[in-house]
Structure 1
Amino acid sequence: MRSVEEHLSVILARLRPLPPFEQHLLDAHGHFLAEDITAERDLPAFDNSAMDGYAVRLVDVLGASEQNPVILSVEQELPAGIAPSETEVEPGTCARIMTGAPVPPGADAIVPVEWTDAGAVGDGSVRVSRAPGIGQHIRTVGEDVRADQVVLTAGTYLGSRQIGLLAAIGRDLVAVRPAPRVVVLSTGAELVEPGAEAAPGQIHDSNSYTLATAAKETGAEVYRVGMVPDDGKALLDAIEDQLIRADLVITSGGVSMGAYEVVKETLSRLGTVEFVKVAMQPGMPQGFGVIGPDETPIFTLPGNPVSAFVSFEIFVKPALRALQGLGPHEDETQTAVAAESFDSPEGRRQFLRGRLVRSTDNGEHAVTRVGLASGSGSHLMGGLAHADCLIVVPEQVTRVEQGEQISILKLESV
């Protein structure tokens, strides 16, 4: 029986990041960078005004107040978008300036228009009733970003703020990893679509919906195929039909030890998919390998809904991140205080549905198990829907006491 770490290492060893491609900024949104981004010039590229007002020599307005204003001659008009002025601000003069306009030579501060009484003493002059500090309201060259500075590193998620930075430094094309294309299908003669009437002995297919949306939350482009009957040829035909648009395939069901385990029986014959037991609960039966001429990775997950979801979180999510050139998510594994005592079987790592309920006196979160009213079986979805984490109990631990620190795996998207 493999440990969780051993099985995950086998999976990750078979995966390679998808090749990057260049995208324009709006199309790159929601992807991960495949390159470091270096600024080609300073940002701002020139000293400019942060306010509408007047560019002044500080020495000319020192001591200005409401009772003792300073009157300056306005010699220049500087709107935004013009080239830097070559006309120096002379003693006793100033330049009217708009936000974003280049600061003229000789000026070392900006007086906001609110600190003036423009036009009160006649055309061409301004009354200054308050003095700024040295350099005040001037955005200096390179104060945000310096030329040759690495502003974003490979692996960065490109959200709105990152796209804004790229635009600000003048980049219109960036290399990103494509979203992995994931095909999800369920197997089982007992399955019917949600919305259809379930006959005696049938159940509604929840796995393909759970896994498809979980893959979407991890940044994948998902194709849900739906149910495949318990027939080996039909299974292979369905998978082969989808390989043209798949970077990764997920099936659920048909991998345990009983009869009619069509996925296991059919894919085992290919010699490229391995079926093993992993020392975890839920999710002990696992299958992983490659299929088709391009050796597309395929995960064959257990059929019980909670087992399938936990298996996705532990094995498939890291695989999807690896395809995008990413390592483990830094914030997923945390610790919390057990809100109650409970037992755990020895020899298997337990992944229990949990919910963070409150903070303790020292600032730590407490976690409680959910869904206990109906039990903890791997077919019970009610508790899972209300969980916001998985409580992780190591293989050697058989008892968790109330107040004890315990690891949790937060259930979050990208």
Structure 2
Amino acid sequence: MTPDRSGAPLSVDQARQALLALVPRPMGTEEVRLDQALGRLLSESITAPMDVPRYTNAALDGIALGWREALPARWHPAGSAFAGQRFDGALGEGECVRITTGAPLPPGTDTVIACEQLDEHDGAVMLNDPERVVKGQNVRRAGEELAAGAPVLSALTRLDPGALGLIASLGLATVRVVKRPKVALFSTGNEVTEPGETLPPAGIFDANRFALKGLLQEAGARVLDLGILPDDPEAIVSALGRAAEQSDLVLTSAGVSVGTKDFTRSALERLGTLGFWRVALRPGKPLACGTLGARQTPFVGLPGNPVAAMVTFHQFVAPLLARLEGQPVAAPARLTAVLDSPVEGRLGRLDLLRGVYRGDEQGVIRVHALKAQGSGMLTSMVAANCLIELCEERDVAVAGEVVAIQPLRAPQSTTLPPSTGSRDGHDRATD
């Protein structure tokens, strides 16, 4: 990365591309036990080593019989087939086999009738409404879900509980996955206090580290939590140096602007290379990136205001983590929505406004901006389910216009207290 000495803000797309250039190649792979694979990314595709189901079996409890035209109502059980065992005997005329769900279908049978459709009388089984029985009903055929050799899961699939169950059903005890990026994380500022500790008169509780740690964990990263650093240049230099040796990415918040106590950016310049430190974005203008130490560990310094830190994480850190994992990298996912109320921004920068979107009765996605848009108002990040984009060429959009939104989560009903201002971190420049 060529350092930007001008200090001119980069566009959001330029900043994203500059950040991605910090990762020349993705992480390696490793094999893990299936019970440790939740949320991991497959590094290679999985194919079925056998048919699923492996054998033709009953889909429910009842009797198995050989279907024929004009099916008789009376049948005589010749034996039983329970799950985990087979019935291999020969069936005579009018004979059936009692069977439970999952048991192999006995030879000579092709149809299963549920217990609820049966009556028993003098040792015989009587069918209710035999004329309604359909040949092959309630039977799961071998290989009907997956044939041996069929693709099951593609590489870079994120393993959720369903995927883990599917892999286990194939008899696989381990999977090869992408290594999880290890991210060193700390907050900075003399005023920042650990939650649970006594709050000084001019102190604030550390919200950023907990929000960012949650976002990192949601993205599948391993977090090296380095706590809170004071406004001390040498302490920050020392911490950054150690973090660069222990991690695949170093992530901080605050201290990257031009305030008299903003030491993180200068520490980066002492230890490595500063790529840029301003982006034409609100919230999130002060954002520094570069590399640290001999390993050239990527570094991202996020703004100090908590909303700005979270918004810039979505725009820049999430794509960087995707690159580390070898995933296709793209800008945040977008939808289009109709504005319910006007929004305002500023020419020359991308405004990302917190909003709430929903589908109306006609299936049209509609969105309105929250009134509280301050960069310190975390209540707005809880209330919002999307970010409304107002691009650099626009300073206003009126009600009824179609705009792009970045979903943060699915629409839901949320009741919140009125937003109040709070500030975490100490970027003194406007973010």
Which residue identity is paired with 1:127? M
Q: Residue 27 and residue 347 in structure 1: after superposition, are their counterparts in 2 closer, same or farther (change >3 A)?
A: same
Amino-acid identity (%): 36
State the distance in 2 between where 1:382 and 1:74 align.
67
- The CA RMSD over aligned residues, in Å, is 2.4
Query: In the alignment, is the contact (CA less than 8 A) between 1:354 and 1:388 conserved in 2?
Result: yes
List per-residue Cα deviations over 1:22-46 (Å, max 9, x = no partner): 1111111121211111001111111
Aligned residue number for residue 91 of structure 1: 93
Give secondary structure in 2 for the equivalent of 1:266: helix
Q: Residue 261 and residue 115 in structure 1: after superposition, are their counterparts in 2 closer, same or farther (change >3 A)?
A: closer
Which blocks of at least 5 consecutive residues in structure 2 are unaligned? Answer: 1-8, 411-431
Q: Residue 394 and residue 84 in structure 1: after superposition, are their counterparts in 2 closer, same or farther (change >3 A)?
A: farther
Q: Residue 332 and residue 350 in structure 1: after superposition, are their counterparts in 2 closer, same or farther (change >3 A)?
A: same
List per-residue Cα deviations over 1:327-371 (Å, max 9, x = no partner): 358984222221211332111001112123x54453223222224
State the distance in 1 between where 2:122 and 2:235 align.
90
1:114 aligns with 2:111: no
Q: Residue 58 and residue 12 in structure 1: after superposition, are their counterparts in 2 closer, same or farther (change >3 A)?
A: same
Shift of 1:112: 2.5
Aligned residue number for residue 79 of structure 2: 76
Query: In the alignment, is the contact (CA less than 8 A) between 1:184 and 1:208 conserved in 2?
Result: yes
State the distance in 1 between where 2:18 and 2:232 align.
28
**Pick aligned residue for 1:408 from 381, 401, 405:** 405
Aligned residue number for residue 104 of structure 1: 106
State the distance in 2 between where 1:209 and 1:183 align.
13
Q: Residue 73 and residue 305 in structure 1: after superposition, are their counterparts in 2 closer, same or farther (change >3 A)?
A: closer
List per-residue Cα deviations over 1:214-246 (Å, max 9, x = no partner): 222222222332221222221121123334542
Q: How many residue pairs are counted as aligned between the two chains?
A: 399
Aligned residue number for residue 420 of structure 2: none
Aligned residue number for residue 9 of structure 1: 17
Superposition TM-score, scaled by structure 1 size? 0.88
Aligned residue number for residue 127 of structure 1: 126
Which residue identity is paired with 2:19? I
Superposition TM-score, scaled by structure 2 size? 0.85
Q: Residue 401 and residue 298 in structure 1: after superposition, are their counterparts in 2 closer, same or farther (change >3 A)?
A: same
Correspondences of 1:114-263 after superposition (within 5 Å):
114-118=116-120, 120-122=121-123, 125-131=124-130, 132-263=133-264
Give secondary structure in 2 for the equivalent of 1:176: strand
Between 241-250 and 322-331, the greater mean CA deviation after superposition: 322-331
Between 145-154 and 180-189, the greater mean CA deviation after superposition: 180-189
Give secondary structure in 1 for the equivalent of 2:119: coil
Give secondary structure in 1 for the equivalent of 2:326: coil
Q: Residue 329 and residue 108 in structure 1: after superposition, are their counterparts in 2 closer, same or farther (change >3 A)?
A: farther
State the distance in 2 between where 1:385 and 1:56 align.
58
State the distance in 1 between where 2:106 and 2:153 align.
32
Between 270-279 and 280-289, the greater mean CA deviation after superposition: 270-279
List per-residue Cα deviations over 1:171-206 (Å, max 9, x = no partner): 111111233222211222332333444445443332
Between 238-247 and 156-165, the greater mean CA deviation after superposition: 238-247
1:43 aligns with 2:52: yes
Query: In the alignment, is the contact (CA less than 8 A) between 1:57 and 1:91 conserved in 2?
Result: no
Between 222-231 and 23-32, the greater mean CA deviation after superposition: 222-231
Which blocks of at least 5 consecutive residues in structure 1 are unaligned? Answer: none
Give secondary structure in 1 for the equivalent of 2:271: coil
Which residue identity is paired with 1:104? P
